[in-house]
Structure 1
Amino acid sequence: MSKYGKINWRRRRKIDPFDQNPSWRLDYKNPELLKLFVTTTGKILPRRITGVNARNQRRLRRAILRARQIALLPYTTHKS
């Protein structure tokens, strides 16, 4: 018996947060929402972590890139 116990190999199906919350609008003008899907270093989180479906992941990527272009979101964070 492992000291970590039994591992559940079945993962629960992730639900798209944009389908679950209809009030969340994917828009580049909403940086507070877009920050939820970006790491502290500025990388866009992948679908397998966030649970966003493919269509919304493409829309999310486009919105993040547009928000970066007009300086609503930073490209990177400088930690010195």
Structure 2
Amino acid sequence: MGLKDRDPRRSRRRGSPIDPNMVIDYKDPNFLKYYITERGKIVPRRVSGLCAKRQRELTLAIKRARNIALLPFTTNS
């Protein structure tokens, strides 16, 4: 069951998990925590389901929030 066996007509596109009009803000750590793993890594695009542009915005917001100490760089354990 490899890539050749898949039927492209049967696959469905998932919609974006966030509203297209929503602004990704670095000052909202509760929203940003959803896109960070337990170890403190940023969730990749294929897992988060975001488009490339929104993933870049999210990454930038997480990095800004880390720099002003709204989010931790790593976990305590």
Shorter-normalised TM-score: what interval?
0.7 to 0.9
Unaligned runs of 5+ in 2: 1-5
Q: Please give the residue correspondences for 1:1-80 in structure 2 after superposition, counting only pairs within 5 Å.
A: 12-19=12-19, 22=21, 24-79=22-77
Residues matched between the structures, number: 70
> How much identity, in percent, do the aligned residues show?
49
Matching residue's letter, 1:14: R
Question: TM-score scaled by structure 1?
Answer: 0.76
CA distance in 2, matches of 1:72, 1:12: 36
SS at match of 1:18: coil
Residue 78 of structure 1: how far off its partner (Å): 2.1
CA distance in 2, matches of 1:28, 1:48: 22
1:31-52 deviations in whole A, cap 9, x for unaligned? Answer: 0000000001100001101100
Matching residue's letter, 2:13: R
Residue 14 of structure 1: how far off its partner (Å): 2.4
Quote the RMSD (CA, aligned, Å): 2.0
Question: TM-score scaled by structure 2?
Answer: 0.78
